[in-house]
Amino acid sequence: MDKNHSLELLYEVKAGKTSPEEALLRFKQAPYEDLGYAKVDHHRRMRQGVGEVIFGQNKTPEQIIGIVGAMLQGGSENILISRLSPEDAELVGKAHPLEYHLLPKMAVVNRKNGTPGKGSIVVASGGTSDLPVAEEAALTAEVLGNQVIRLYDVGVSGLHRLLDHLTELSEARVVIAVAGMEGALASVIGGLVDCPVIAVPTSVGYGASFGGVAALLSMLNSCASGVSVVNIDNGFGAGFLAHRIHNMGEAK
């Protein structure tokens, strides 16, 4: 139950359409719903402004179907399912119509497109191999209601490709820099913009990249100010954080 549904319920009590006892029962049931294998947090949106996101990896299709069903019954919109395989997406989609995105392996149920606010979030990737993580970040930010600009394959091995987009970068409210290998993209962008930069190391690279650890350490040691770092391959975390930052103040 989000703020709007809670307010509607209170107005129903005021108008005499719902008894105080029934409203109390619905509020008691609202914080979370115990499905046995999962406790669905119906108050997440009320507390954090964004509803619960389902991490699909290692969950069975039946479990995901049950969680989505409970969330829909509770009035949830724009339900995100991350790390969902194509096979599981097909099974879940038979129970709940969904919009599936193969590259980031994400699904959206009951999508409601609102009007994006002013300003934009830029998602920049070092190379094409980084696109699954970059798209996870971009789609997360979009579904949460932000305007997203994608700048893909603009890594430092061809710096002119990035410099051709200085206008988009300078006008952004937040920039997400997604890169593997040595992860230098985040430092370069951090030295060019006046907004927060969220660096996302990816596991892309040869042996000495250690599955993204090299990029992670490089980004943590960035000499550019205003660069923060999320975990390896955590595009969702970057998109969510960018949404929070973007909606904190007045847009440019």
Sorted by sequence, the CB contacts under 8 Å of residue 175 that are 6+ apart come out as 121, 122, 123, 124, 169, 189, 193, 195, 196, 197, 198
Task: Give me the half-sphere count of Cα atoms (radius 13 Å) on the Cβ side of residue 85.
Answer: 8
Q: Give residue-wise pLDDT tens across range 194-241.
A: 999 999 999 999 999 999 999 999 999 999 999 999 999 999 999 999
Q: What pLDDT was estimated at residue 22?
A: 83
Specify whether the CB–CB gap between 162 and 151 falls below 8 A: yes
How large is the average pLDDT for residues 33-47? 84
**Which pLDDT does position 28 carry in this prediction?**
65
42 Cβ contact partners less than 8 Å away, ≥ 6 residues apart: 1, 30, 31, 32, 33, 71, 74, 76
Please report where in the chains the tokens 């509020």 appear, as a residue. 27
- Is the domain covering 121-246 a CATH 1.20.1250.20 domain? no
Provide the residue ranges of all domains of the chain, joining segments of one domain with +. Answer: 3-7+33-109, 121-246
